[in-house]
Amino acid sequence: APLRSIPSLLEYFSYNFNFHSILIGPGYTIREHLAFMDGSNLTPLDNPNQFARAKEHSKEPSTLIPVAKKSLLSLIYMAAYLYLGNYPHRTLLDESFNMPYRLLMVLVVGMRLKLGFHFIWTLSDCVNNAAGLGFSGYDAHGNAVWDLTTNLDFLRFEFAMNPRIIANEWNITTARWLRRVSYDRITWQRAHLTFLLSAFWHGFYPSYYLGLIYLGFLNETAKKMWRLLNPFFTSNGWALRWTYHLVTWFLSHIFANFGSLAVQLHWLQDVFIYWKTLYFVPLVTCVIITVFLPPGRSSRQSSKAVGEGRKGGEVATGNENHPKEAKSMKQD
């Protein structure tokens, strides 16, 4: 919702320089900050669950459980990051490895890189929750939900079987900001232009532009391949379905790491060496599919076609009441 009045200077500077998010973030709107400051974020929300309604009216939700949980998770991420300390991202520049080992290193080095972000984002989320920021309501069982400042869902991200889900679940609050200021506002090549904006936002190392422009092509490739392959492989028996899921998980993370790890190398020469060790296969594949494969029917068109085939039928996707699912799985 938009602001109904212009914030005062004190409110504006408190939003930009508050102690619990000035160093790491994560990003949230000034409207959410003002609601946190005046306590209106704790206003009871409509809830169909009687127990949840009673809980909403009883007392301010405790931060003890989310803070304890996120503190523990951040320590686990830090320990795992240190354990993988022998695999810095420059390991990817070693051209002496055989191909199976190179692919393994792409996954291992990628995991080490991501664990560093998982640690710092989870710790930041924990600090914001400890300050009282991050409450977003109650679930249907009456449990308080503290995910307003959450930047990742580890399981959804690491077990994603589509690069588009990986993109949606990485740095969630920044992705939400990019969607709001760019993706939802433009109508032409919006994925590519949004990734270009993301590169500019990161800085001016050449690798930012190479890696993130490639990820824009990967986004389009994933959309086309999902429309083409998913209906067939997910409706022809469990063995084929699970094989498809395993293969798509592996390829999604290899292809995503091809771009995200390149971003960390900074210089063109290093990016070229890294991509050469994989024979540029992910890049060439994405460009060919993006340029030559027809877009196919979108999920909206498919739903409309199925609905017209049923007498007065209206197709439900099952994601309408779950905003995160709808955002992640939307393929239009």
Contacts of 176 (CB under 8 A, 6+ apart): 27
Q: What are the two backbone dihedrals, phi and then psi, of residue 138, each rounded to the nearest 5 degrees?
A: -120, 150
What are 221's two structure tokens?
């490739």
Confidence of residue 307 (pLDDT cuts 50, 70, 90): very low
- Per residue in 113-122, pLDDT (tens digit) is 999 999 999 9
Average pLDDT over residues 91-97: 90
Query: Rounded to an integer, what distance in angstroms lies between the CA atom of residue 92 and that of residue 103?
Result: 10
Q: Specify the amino acid at residue 248.
A: T
Average pLDDT over residues 90-98: 90
Query: Rounded to an integer, what distance in angstroms lies between the CA atom of residue 65 and that of residue 145?
Result: 11
Supply the pLDDT for residue 237.
81
Confidence of residue 191 (pLDDT cuts 50, 70, 90): confident
Average pLDDT over residues 156-182: 91
Neighbours of 242 (CB within 10 A): 11
Smallest Cα–Cα separation from 278: which of 264, 301, 261, 292?
261
Is 145 in a helix, a strand, or coil?
strand
Q: Specify the amino acid at residue 46.
A: D
Average pLDDT over residues 188-199: 88
What are 52's two structure tokens?
């949840």
The torsion of the CA quartet 298, 304, 306, 308, rounded to 10 degrees, works out to -150
Supply the pLDDT for residue 296.
57
Supply the pLDDT for residue 166.
92
Confidence of residue 246 (pLDDT cuts 50, 70, 90): very high
Query: Rounded to an integer, what distance in angstroms lies between the CA atom of residue 93 and that of residue 133?
Result: 42
| Contact present, 78 and 71 (Cβ < 8 Å) | no
Smallest Cα–Cα separation from 80: which of 49, 115, 108, 38?
115
Supply the pLDDT for residue 53.
54
Q: Residue 182 pLDDT > 70, yes or no?
A: yes
Query: Rounded to an integer, what distance in angstroms lies between the CA atom of residue 132 and that of residue 154?
Result: 23
Q: Specify the amino acid at residue 164.
A: R
Burial call 142-169: b when 16+ CB within 10 Å, e when fewer:
eebebbbbbbbbeebbeebbbbbbbbbb
| Contact present, 162 and 223 (Cβ < 8 Å) | no
Burial call 51-85: b when 16+ CB within 10 Å, e when fewer:
ebbebbeeeebebeebbeebbebbeebbebbeebe
| Contact present, 115 and 99 (Cβ < 8 Å) | no
Supply the pLDDT for residue 304.
46
CA atoms within 13 A on the CB side of 179: 12
Supply the pLDDT for residue 299.
44
Supply the pLDDT for residue 238.
84
Q: Residue 310 pLDDT > 50, yes or no?
A: no
Average pLDDT over residues 108-130: 95
Is 293 in a helix, a strand, or coil?
coil
**Which residue has 């679930």 as its token pair?**
139
Average pLDDT over residues 224-241: 86
- Per residue in 19-50, pLDDT (tens digit) is 888 888 888 989 999 988 888 777 655 555 55
- Per residue in 279-300, pLDDT (tens digit) is 999 999 998 998 888 765 554 4
